[in-house]
Amino acid sequence: MLVRTGVAFILAAQLSLAGCERTANPPRVTAENAFVIEPLAGRDVTLGGVSLSVQGGPVRLVAATSPQIGAIELHSGQMQGRMMMKAHAHGLDIPANGQLNLRQGGDHFMMFGVAETLKTGDSVDLNLAFMADGRPFELTVTAQVVSLSD
Ligand SMILES: [Cu+2]
């Protein structure tokens, strides 16, 4: 906690020294290619992803929700050989002016309680919650439901 406070203080000092109006603007996040894989028959668990780009920042993705999905977790994933090592993450960091690619085989959304009416070709809203500089903000993206083979 002490370390975090120290970093925040140094950042604030640098920003005020810079004195440019950019400090007043929250970072801008744009999303592309949001998707949800159609669950296998009889199952309600699946994964999804999105490509996020940040102007400004850094930004932390802290949560995702959807009216048609019971719960969405953020999972960090890394392929080790042919095995994916997955971990439940409380947030995924995006560096300033950086990108975060949520996808199969990497970091992804793990989705539980997916409405069984969701079929390939449908679209579903994902509400993404972010934090930047201690302030929350949200972005709603439209995800395409795709089949596993896409
Ligand atoms: Cu997962």
84-106 tens-digit pLDDT: 788 888 899 999 999 999 999 89
The residue-averaged pLDDT of 55-63 equals 96
Per-residue pLDDT, 12: 52
CA of 24 to the centre of ligand 1 (A): 36
Mean residue pLDDT of the chain comes to: 86
CA of 9 to the centre of ligand 1 (A): 35
Per-residue pLDDT, 1: 43
CA of 73 to the centre of ligand 1 (A): 8
CA of 135 to the centre of ligand 1 (A): 27
**Cα 73 to Cα 92: distance, rounded to the nearest angstrom:** 11
Task: Report the predicted TM-score, pTM, of the whole model to 2 decimal places.
Answer: 0.80
Per-residue pLDDT, 53: 98
End-to-end CA, the chain? 44
CA of 75 to the centre of ligand 1 (A): 5
The residue-averaged pLDDT of 42-49 equals 95
CA of 108 to the centre of ligand 1 (A): 6
| 55 contact partners, CB below 8 Å, separation of at least 6 | 27, 28, 30, 97
Burial grade of 73 (CB within 10 A; 0-12, 13-18, 19 or more): middle
CA of 13 to the centre of ligand 1 (A): 39
What CATH architecture is 26-146? Sandwich (2.60)
User: Which residue type is seen at 88?
Assistant: H
CA of 47 to the centre of ligand 1 (A): 7
